[in-house]
Structure 1
Amino acid sequence: MTGSDDTHQFRTWLIIAVFGVLAFAIGGTAFFLGHSSSSRASMQIVIDDAAASAAPVDPYAQYRATGWIAAENAKPGTHDWAVPDDKAAWAKIEGFFDATSINLGSSVILRSSTRAPTWQVTAYRIGWYGGTGGRMIWKSDRLVGVNQPRAEQGGIPKAWSAPWATSLAIQTDATWPPGQYLFKLESVDGGASYVPLVIRDDKSTSDILMQSAVTTWQAYNGWGGASVYTGTTGRADAVSFDRPYTGNGSGEFLGREREFIALVERLGLDVSYWTDIDLHQRGELAKNHRGIVIPGHDEYYTVEMRKNLEAARDAGVNIGFFGANNVYRRIRLDPTQNGLNRHETNYRDASRDPLNGKDPERVTTSFRESPAPNPESSLTGSYYECNPVDADWVVGDTSMWMFEGSGFKNGEKIAHMVGNEYDRVNLSVPTPANIQILAHSPVTCRGMSSFADTTWYSASSGAGVFDAATFGWSPLMLDACPAGTPSTPICKLQKVTENILRAFAKGPAGAAHPSVSNLSKFSMSAPRTTTPPQTTGPQSPTTTTGSTAPSSSTTTTTTVATTTTTTTAVPIP
């Protein structure tokens, strides 16, 4: 054998040996090289199996598995998430994040201010957790306290903000489940307050998507100098998310939304979370869900938010408004140095808005006002009417599907459930022609006798739209009811709520439960000939603790200009 033949043979055996080692390492199975198709197929199978076994595992897939909400709420909870009902404690430490929500696995910047030498922050996921209401997910080390600068005004139009340096960058990971969080700030001098945050799952296709109304929280937030209602030198034309919330720091979450979340998670429903700013920024994702539930007071909407919500409805996504006075005010959102959509503008007066005459649709009056009137009732069903009010909720038509198994009878009441704002069916504005009234509750507001109307309508897409028409619904969802037939008014109401949520989770609830107008039952067969007062004003201070709902009192109001719309009932959207 020549030297070249020896070299060729050596190279051949070397190649065979290398492939053999690779095959053993990758697939754990030796294979022989040959010229047959079966040998080549065996090699391909081994390599394909190895590639499959090496595919990355999504650590967040666990939060899309059936039953994960029930499993999460079976974990030990704690009452430690609650801060004291103590204004002095709230004032000792405050903070805010650079985002109202983040996606799974993302980071968020916390800015905090305290005179205390040290402080600490703990993250709690809010849910049911056996009645404790929260589970601790993470706790920081002790941090050095910094007394940050005072509030300043900036932006166009000017808004009060906190020009604070970064205190802490918080990195989340797969041990942080998606959901609504309260971060509890605690300073060594006894200070304690909240910073809220939603952790989203942008890949979620959960049955129900819970929406937090942060633009409304911010509109009522007077931290630093002014809200869009009141201020040290008058109302502001804009507000900024670059500042803490007044009071205990929770915005309107406690007393408006937390209680409803407790019910949803107690029921173990397939649910995920986002904010109304996400509806503005990534609204196309709403169509990945079967129902959108808005448990609180979602008054302040951009044009994009409204269009995205209507597009979801028109794609068959159910919508549940479990508050009142929703989709009422137009706003615009602009960036600040801390991020997108953090400067919220609401001039109220079209003549003062620079877009007047240029972009009528985005002029920040109410949706029902000129220069581009589009009353909220075409979406919500009912129409915001008046505040303040304190009245009983009165059952109107128990033949409707959501009353099944509740034990409610027509005329039955829940005391003081209607307030402090309410909606009603008003046929002098665009209203779905097939709207049904569940509850028709007499109210007296500013000397005017009227009704609050809880409503349901089905859209042509098959979606169903529910409007509670009162702030009094969500707070009654907190406490668990015993198993079996409901025996108290609140437990009956929870059964109605459960029926609605479970119908939403199954798909287009309007197709399953099409609405048929029952207005004649309430002597409302013809459009109204008068336009009611169109007023809305500041809510009670949202300085609640973890277990106390806000007072329903209202001290001042703002009267806005009206644009009368004389259309009658409109076809199904």
Structure 2
Amino acid sequence: MDQEYTAGPAANHEHAGPGEGEGAARRRFLAIATGAATAAGLGAVTGCAQGDGPPAAGSGATSEPDARAGKPPAAGARGLDVKAENALPGHPDWPVVTAGPARAIEGFADRVSVLPGESFGLHVSTTAPRFTVSAYRMGWYGGARARLVWRSEALPGARQPEPTVDAGTRTVRTRWTRTATVATKDWPEGSYLLRLDAQGGEGRRFVPLTVRSAVTAGRTVVVNAVATWQAYNRWGGYGSYDGPGGGFASRSLAVSFDRPYEYDDGAGLFLVYEAPLIALAERLGIPLAYATTTDVAREKRLLEGATAVLSLGHDEYWSPEQRAHVTAARDAGTNIAVLGANCCYRRIRLEASDLGPDRTLVCYKSSYAQDPGFRRGHPATVDFRSAPGADPESSLLGVIYDGYPVDAPYVVTHPGHWLFEGTGAREGDRFEHLVGVEYDKVDTGFPTPRPIEILAHSPVVCEGRPSHQDTAYYTAPSGAGVFATGTMRWVEALDATGDGRSGRNHGLDARSGALTTRVTENLLRVFATGPAGRTHPAQDNVKAVYGSS
């Protein structure tokens, strides 16, 4: 039964380049990073070999608001008041500590994002007779990291049918009925985790949702990388990297958002690669806006007037429309920060699913000639740097993806740069394990905007091939500043304390946490004030670092 709610405030390797042949192993790394069990039968990788380049109607029932949550601040002309929002009490009991049996409860939303006040549908499958839904807005909240915005009454639970798999594309489809309709009345903009709690404590899972901003002018835009979350999602046995047998040849050629996320807590890649950055940004109190990669692709003018756009820890899958809109924003003076690595690497196409537009992610990769969309004239869904239609990501990012897997120290080489102010870093300082598991570098053999400054130049050896990781900053003719960390572990490191309590930090210690936190604070504060290149122009040092220009 579909319950309707008015949710108010609560008191095999196909080529030698990086990224395809290593699909199963990359998924294995991400499963470990997000606390999931390592899948069995995963294949070997050749990630650093050089090839194409360096690597139903509702019942009308209404839930009552939870009295603990407080009243959200009103959104003014400039959008969310971040400081006022984060002054409200947090709820530290939000995490899924024990998920319970694999199929005890799980679900998905029929929209990846909604505007405040809009409704969305929840599709839930559970073995429990009843369950509740709690909406947590993720932020700082004095370190609690989340605020309970709304909680449902107890809802009837039911086990939904098993999924089916399309023969041609190996797309997993659920076709589950809608369980509840939720209206987001008085929900502030932001990134949300909806926690599903099965009756009797039999299971808990998250469902991610973004309450997006209608306007981003004058604000720093946090972009949830939902396309990449979904590409790595193997719920139902198939994802964009492999199928049940663990081989690349059995991968899905198109994946659907109409399914839960497989990882133990159901949050996709959000908690490791995005939540720490959101907490830091909201703690700073800078004006923020929220969107997803799907929103940026769909809405041509969404980024107009934004001070900065943030790509978070793992943001690999982009549509040509998303790239064009981010590039246009840069060329209009909007700063760009890439707080990860392997960004803007896969070219995708978004298509409709049974539940709505833009809910199927198409990425044929090296099998693009089989794609009916390509035959109809759409761009090939291959890596951006690959033919046909090669357009290396470095022309936007300044850096280019160079390989996987590595685990190496991060080496500071330009400590006098404004981004290192207050860190105490000196030339040659090393921060163990901060470079990994994928990395980027400056490579002028690809299109590279100039002037560009290399701030960290870290030696790596990737499956026997010596190379370097680079953190870089360039300024565009528009005055925009573009910063790229060059390592996938940057956002993850923001939470590194070195106390041994987290199994997710790959040995990152408190020094790495302090460095990445201060650099990110410096970055966000400057980027929030307008085109950074006008006050902090890049001074090109490629020749000094690499010995050639």
Name the TM tier (shorter chain): 0.7 to 0.9
Tell me how far 1:512 sits from its aligned partner: 1.6
CA positional deviation for 1:436? 1.0
Q: CA deviation at 1:425?
A: 0.9
* 1:312-391 correspondence runs (5 A): 312-349=329-366, 350-356=368-374, 359=377, 362-391=379-408
Question: What RMSD, in angstroms, separates the aligned Cα atoms of the two structures?
Answer: 2.0
Amino acid at match of 1:177: P
- How far off its partner does 1:80 sit? 1.7
Query: 3-state SS of the aligned residue for 1:320?
Result: strand
2:502 aligned residue: none
Q: What does the per-residue CA deviation read over 1:367-426, in whole Å, with 9 as the maximum and x for residues that have no partner? A: 011111100000011110110111111111122221222221111121101110000111
In the TM superposition, what is the alpha-carbon distance from 1:64 to its structure 2 partner? 4.8
Q: 1:207, 1:289 within 8 Å by CA — same for their partners in 2? A: yes
Letter in 2 for 1:191: G
Say if 1:301 and 1:204 are closer, same or farther in 2 by CA, change over 3 A.
Answer: closer
Q: Which residue of 1 is the match for residue 270 of structure 2? A: 253
Q: Secondary structure at the match of 2:522?
A: helix
* Deviations 1:129-184 (CA, angstroms, capped at 9, x unpaired): 1111101000001011110011113497451021100100001112x111000000
C-alpha displacement of 1:291: 0.3
Q: Does 1:511 align with 2:534?
A: yes
One-letter code aligned to 2:94 = W
Give distance in 1, aligned partners of 2:185 and 2:166: 35
- Residue by residue, what CA displacement relative to the aligned partner does 1:226-285 show, whole Å, maximum 9, x if unpaired? 001011261110100000000221010011000111111111111111100011111411
Change in CA separation of 1:385 and 1:179 when aligned onto 2, cut-off 3 Å: same
Q: Is 1:71 paired with 2:71?
A: no
Out of 107, 114, 136, the position equivalent to 1:95 is 107
Distance 2:350 2:226 in 1: 12
Q: Larger % of helix: which?
A: 1
| Superimposed CA distance per residue, residues 168-205 of structure 1 (whole angstroms, 9 cap, x where no aligned partner) | 0001112x111000000010142100000010120343
| Deviation by residue 1:465-487 (Cα, 9 ceiling, x = unmatched) | 11111111102223799xxxxx9
Of 476, 490, 499, 1:459 maps to: 476
Change (3 A) 1:283 1:396: farther
CA distance 1:67–1:283, shift in 2 (3 Å): closer
Distance 1:478 1:280 in 2: 30
Give 3-state SS (helix, strand or coil) of 1:62's partner: coil
Contact (CA 8 Å) 1:64, 1:206: kept in 2 or not?
A: no
Give the aligned partner of residue 288 of structure 2.
Answer: 271
Give the drift of 1:74: 1.4
CA contact (8 A) 1:206 1:272 kept: no
Moved more, 395-404 or 417-426: 395-404
Residue of 84, 95, 99 corresponding to 1:82: 95
Residue equivalent to 1:498: 521
CA contact (8 A) 2:78 2:218 kept: no
Structure 1 residue 85: deviation in Å?
4.3
**Aligned twin of 2:197:** 186
CA distance in 2, matches of 1:132, 1:452: 34
- Report the counterpart of residue 409 of structure 2 in structure 1: 392
Decide whether the 8 Å contact of 1:389 with 1:443 is kept in 2. yes
Q: CA deviation at 1:61?
A: 5.2
Structure 2 CA distance, aligned partners of 1:440 and 1:90? 43
- Asked if structure 2 preserves the Cα contact closer than 8 Å seen for 1:283 and 1:309, the reply is no
- The separation in 1 between residues aligned to 2:497 and 2:287, in whole angstroms, is 19
Aligned length: 460
1:111 aligns with 2:123: yes
Counterpart residue identity of residue 194, structure 2: F
Secondary structure of the equivalent of 1:236?
Answer: coil
Among 206, 210, 213, the alignment partner of 2:222 is 210
Q: CA deviation at 1:488?
A: 4.2
Of 219-228 and 401-410, deviating more is 401-410
1:313-368 deviation line (CA, Å, top 9, x unaligned): 111110000010000001110011211100111111233233446536x1111001
Taking a change above 3 Å as real, the CA distance of residues 450 and 286 of structure 1, as seen in their structure-2 partners, is same
> Partners in 2 of 1:431 and 1:289 — Cα distance?
24
Cα-to-partner distance string for 1:478-529 (whole Å, 9 max, x where unaligned): 3799xxxxx9453233221111111111100122211121012213424xxx
Q: Structure 2: which 5+ residue stretches go unaligned?
A: 1-71, 499-509
Q: Are the aligned partners of 2:312 and 2:339 in contact in 1 as well (CA < 8 Å)?
A: yes
Between the aligned partners of 1:512 and 1:66, the Cα distance in structure 2 is 26
2:213 matched residue in structure 1: 201
Q: TM-score if structure 2 supplies the norm length?
A: 0.80
Question: Structure 2: how far apart are the matches of 1:505 and 1:344?
Answer: 32
Unaligned runs of 5+ in 1: 1-58, 482-486, 527-573
* Secondary structure, counterpart of 1:242 in structure 2: coil
Distance 2:281 2:489 in 1: 17
**Residue matched to 1:444:** 461
Q: 2:216, 2:304 within 8 Å by CA — same for their partners in 1?
A: no
C-alpha separation between the residues in 1 aligned to 2:97 and 2:114? Answer: 27
Query: What percent identity do the matched residue pairs reach?
Result: 42
Report the residue type matching 1:311 in the other structure.
Answer: A
Number of the residue aligned with 1:5: none
Measure how far apart 1:60 and its partner are: 8.2
- Structure 1 or 2, whichever has the larger Rg, is 1
